[in-house]
């Protein structure tokens, strides 16, 4: 099924307790055994039985429900690899892997639908916080009037309700609030509009694959729309109050294009970052690499493309051949897997970019670029790291690895714009190498104003998904895994935790190092991979060990915490559990804290729950 290829978005899955699934779905070893086993051995076993070192093992796949495995082959991450199989053959593989016959399978109960009162949208309650970064400056700061939660009330937060995602081991879509509803995507492609107060379902929409982007709400016409992207590169617009599809487009023609970062909206235009899974194609037969990252501007009302700007300007051309004669290509890469940042004053949308996948290396990778809102022309540019060509073949000793391979130092964190008291405007940047940096918007050619090394960094950070800031401090989360997982040797121990910095000088004002409560448990780490969120006086952060913590902004002292790695009875009666948190951050709105928990991928702890907290659980 992989045809000897390894797709990195399926790497290192971890097991969820079987209690997370329906009790009616008990494994049956006889289901689909004969034909499914033969098909698995022919099409799947080469990678899932150990040839690809970090492909999820057969044992781990057996903990998924059969409809999740089937959906992955039909319309999800494994669609291309399973294209030569018939529908019946895919069903037989799913039955064999999970030990559950579709004839016997009873999916977990869906979350409860809203009654008439809870189902009503308030069209006048327009979103008070905008997109992934909440404000145009992408600071992830939520002002007091929107948060509705004071620092004094935070220690009294208690779980009010929880939603379990059926058949999921990760929850990577940051919640969005508006019109009295909460919007979020899920691993099986279902997008939910929930009543924000109670968690009941107002409507659902099924995309073709996992939705890990946040849902963005905007009104390009009379009716408000909800925008999101899926794992196989499609962008959707649905009616925010009904879930009815308005349009869908593919953001890029490359077969490996995907959507990870948050889009932004301005004046009738949706600006979309485009990433890729091609960096993970590792076998000697794959003609690596031809994807180029981009930002695409779409008419928000129709989905029509207005402009598209590639982060790698030149089209890939043949370079060298592998020992078995496979033609390789370059340049490539420059994926935009981070959220975009608006600057309407300058008429610019900012993007941060990843490394090249193949050589030659180019000028706009590992960079911050500012694109003209109207034309897509690059008006502003600063490159953090030169000469960085890398793909996952470098970890596995495959010939797709570029010669003189780089360190893979993507700028994956959404940048923060910050105005200083002396009226300078800075961009604050986090890197997977564990450093935070600042550049003056007026003079990018001058380079960094400051660069502060906080963690040792690695292929997964360092600072990976984003930082947050208020008017006084920049708050940088550092993951620093105990086992970096990239085969490199680092000087010194990991330094996971939350750091407060002076945005003007880069001086560390305080650091809060979390306790290591993992007891050497596999895939458990104490650091912070996901982006944190700030309200006046408090920073909220989700950790890789499943802890959710609130920190005092002035001192870094922990003022509240919740362990999401416990059995949690959800609204549907499904028993769900949290896990690592990576990608989506917390959201505070109208007196409640919302956060998705579970990141069963890339060697992290699985989970399948959306948690909603309020003061005293009211």
* The pLDDT of residue 75: 75
Return the pLDDT at 13. Answer: 31
| Residue 59 belongs to some domain of the structure | yes
pLDDT > 60? residue 3: no
- Greater model confidence, 2 or 506: 506
Distance CA 64, CA 58 (A): 10
Q: Kindly state the average pLDDT of the residues 266-271.
A: 98
- What is the pLDDT at residue 307? 98
Contacts of 90 (CB under 8 A, 6+ apart): 70, 73, 74, 82
Position 216 scores a pLDDT of: 98
Each residue's pLDDT tens digit, 554-605: 999 999 999 999 999 999 988 999 999 998 899 999 999 999 999 988 889 9
Between CA 542 and CA 523 the distance in angstroms is: 16
245 lies in a domain?
Answer: no
Q: What is the pLDDT of residues 337-392, one digit of tens each?
A: 999 999 999 999 999 999 999 999 999 999 999 999 999 999 999 999 999 999 98
Structure tokens at 53: 């070192």
* pLDDT above 60 for 317: yes
> How many domains in the chain?
1
Higher model confidence: residue 397 or residue 145? 145
Among candidates 448, 450, 313, which has minimal Cα distance to 376?
313
pLDDT grade for 455, boundaries at 50, 70 and 90: very high
Determine how β-strand 216-218 pairs with β-strand 225-229: antiparallel
DSSP class of residue 588? E
Whether residue 93 lies inside any domain: the answer is yes
Q: What is the mean pLDDT of residues 288-302?
A: 97
pLDDT of residue 77: 65
299-311 mean pLDDT: 98
Residue 387 included in any domain: no
Mean pLDDT for the chain overall: 89
Q: How far is CA 583 from CA 118, 147, 337, 476, in A?
A: 30, 21, 11, 14
Distance CA 157, CA 593 (A): 8
Q: What is the pLDDT of residues 39-94, one digit of tens each?
A: 988 888 776 654 443 445 565 566 567 887 888 788 776 777 788 899 999 999 99
Is residue 86 in a domain?
yes
Average pLDDT of 173-187?
96
- Measured distance CA(233)–CA(289) in Å, rounded: 17
CA 415 to chain centre: 15
Q: pLDDT higher for 495 or 286?
A: 495
DSSP β-bridge partners for residue 437:
429, 451
How much is the pLDDT for 99? 84
The answer to the question of residue 284 being in a domain is no
- Answer yes or no: is 335 within a domain: no
Is residue 82 included in any domain, yes or no? Answer: yes
Output 100 or 585, whichever has higher pLDDT: 585
The answer on pLDDT for 487 being more than 80 is: no
Question: Cα dist. 259→192, 337, 456 in Å?
Answer: 18, 7, 28
Average pLDDT over residues 14-37: 45
CA quadruple 322, 327, 331, 332: dihedral sign:
negative
Cβ-Cβ contacts under 8 Å for 401 (sequence gap 6 or more): 390, 391, 393, 394
* pLDDT at residue 122 is higher than 50: yes
347: alpha, beta or left, given left = phi > 0 and alpha = psi -120 to 50? Answer: left
Confidence class for position 502, pLDDT limits 50, 70, 90: very high
Q: Which residues of 580-618 are buried (b: 16+ CB within 10 A; e: fewer)?
A: bbbbbbbbbbbbbbbbbbbbbbbbbbbbbbbbbbbbeee
pLDDT digit string, tens, across residues 411-434: 989 999 999 999 999 999 999 999
- The pLDDT of residue 26 is 34
What is the predicted pLDDT for the residue at 32? 47
Find the mean pLDDT for residues 27-34: 50
Percentage above 90 pLDDT, the chain: 70
Question: Distance between CA 469 and CA 475 in Å, rounded?
Answer: 6
Return d(Cα 47, Cα 553) in angstroms, integer. Answer: 46
How many Cα atoms occupy the beta-carbon half-sphere of 122 within 13 Å?
15
CB atoms within 10 A of CB 148: 17
Residues 517-531: what's their mean pLDDT?
Answer: 94
CATH number of the domain where residue 53 is located: 1.10.760
Confidence at residue 496, expressed as pLDDT on a 0 to 100 scale: 96
Name the residue range of residue 93's domain: 8-98
Asked if 494 and 454 touch (Cβ cutoff 8 Å), the reply is: no
> What is the mean pLDDT of the segment spanning 488-500?
88
Closest CA to 275 of 315, 231, 236, 314: 231
Instruction: Give the C-alpha separation, 97 to 13, whole Å.
Output: 15
Average pLDDT over residues 446-464: 92
- Residue 156 is given by DSSP the state G
Integer Cα distance of 429 and 415 in angstroms: 5
- pLDDT given for residue 64 in this prediction: 65
CA angle 191, 134, 138 (to 5 degrees): 120
For residue 325, what are its two tokens? 């004669």
């Amino acid at each position: 099924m992989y045809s000897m290829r390894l797709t990195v978005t399926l790497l290192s899955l971890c097991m969820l307790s079987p209690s997370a699934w329906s009790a009616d779905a008990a494994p049956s070893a006889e289901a689909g055994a004969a034909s499914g086993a033969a098909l698995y051995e022919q099409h799947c076993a080469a990678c899932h039985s150990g040839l690809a070192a970090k492909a999820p093992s057969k044992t781990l796949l057996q903990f998924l429900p059969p409809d999740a495995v089937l959906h992955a082959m039909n319309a999800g991450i494994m669609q291309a690899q399973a294209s030569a199989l018939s529908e019946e053959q895919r069903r037989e593989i799913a039955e064999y892997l999970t030990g559950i016959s579709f004839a016997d399978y009873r999916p977990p109960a869906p979350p409860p639908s809203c009654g008439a009162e809870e189902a009503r949208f308030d069209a006048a309650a327009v979103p008070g916080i905008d997109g992934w970064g909440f404000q145009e400056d992408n600071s992830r700061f939520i002002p007091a009037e929107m948060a509705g939660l004071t620092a004094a009330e935070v220690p009294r937060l208690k779980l009010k309700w929880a939603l379990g995602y059926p058949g999921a081991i990760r929850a990577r879509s940051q919640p969005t609030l508006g019109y009295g509803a909460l919007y979020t995507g899920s691993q099986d492609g279902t997008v939910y509009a929930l009543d924000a107060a109670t968690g009941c379902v107002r409507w659902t929409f099924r995309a073709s694959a996992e939705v890990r982007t946040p849902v963005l709400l905007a009104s390009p016409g009379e009716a408000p729309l909800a925008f999101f992207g899926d794992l196989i590169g499609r962008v959707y617009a649905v009616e925010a109050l009904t879930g009815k599809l308005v349009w869908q487009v593919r953001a890029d023609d490359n077969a490996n294009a995907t959507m990870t970062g948050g889009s932004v909206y301005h004046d009738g235009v949706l600006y979309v970052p485009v990433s890729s899974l091609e960096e993970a194609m590792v076998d000697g037969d794959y003609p690596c690499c031809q994807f180029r990252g981009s930002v695409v501007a779409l008419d928000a009302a129709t989905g029509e493309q207005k402009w598209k700007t590639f982060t790698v300007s030149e089209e890939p051309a043949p370079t060298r051949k592998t020992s078995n004669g496979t033609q390789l290509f370059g340049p490539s890469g420059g994926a935009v897997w981070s959220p975009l940042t608006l600057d309407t004053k300058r008429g610019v949308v900012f993007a941060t970019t990843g490394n090249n996948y193949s050589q030659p290396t180019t000028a706009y990778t590992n960079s911050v670029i500012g694109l003209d809102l109207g034309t897509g022309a690059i008006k502003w540019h600063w490159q953090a790291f030169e000469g960085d060509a890398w793909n996952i073949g470098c970890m596995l000793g495959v010939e797709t690895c570029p010669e003189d391979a780089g360190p893979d130092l993507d700028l994956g964190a959404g940048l923060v714009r910050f105005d200083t008291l002396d009226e300078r405007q800075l961009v604050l940047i986090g890197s997977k190498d564990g450093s935070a940096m600042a550049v003056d918007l007026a003079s990018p050619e001058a380079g960094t104003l400051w660069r502060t090394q906080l963690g040792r960094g690695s292929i997964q950070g360092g600072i990976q998904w984003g930082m947050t800031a208020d008017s006084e401090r920049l708050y940088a989360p550092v993951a620093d895994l105990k086992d970096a997982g990239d085969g490199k040797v680092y000087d010194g121990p990991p330094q996971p935790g939350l750091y407060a910095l002076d945005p003007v000088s880069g001086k560390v004002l305080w650091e809060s190092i979390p306790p290591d409560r993992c007891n050497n448990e596999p895939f458990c780490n104490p650091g912070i991979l996901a982006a944190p969120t700030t309200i006046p006086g408090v920073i909220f952060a989700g950790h890789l060990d499943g802890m959710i913590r609130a920190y005092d902004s002035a001192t870094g002292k922990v003022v509240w915490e919740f362990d999401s790695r416990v059995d949690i009875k959800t609204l549907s009666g499904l028993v769900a559990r949290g896990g690592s948190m990576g990608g989506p951050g917390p959201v505070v709105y109208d007196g409640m804290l919302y956060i998705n928990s579970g990141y069963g991928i890339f060697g992290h702890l699985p989970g399948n729950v959306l948690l909603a907290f309020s003061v005293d659980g009211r």
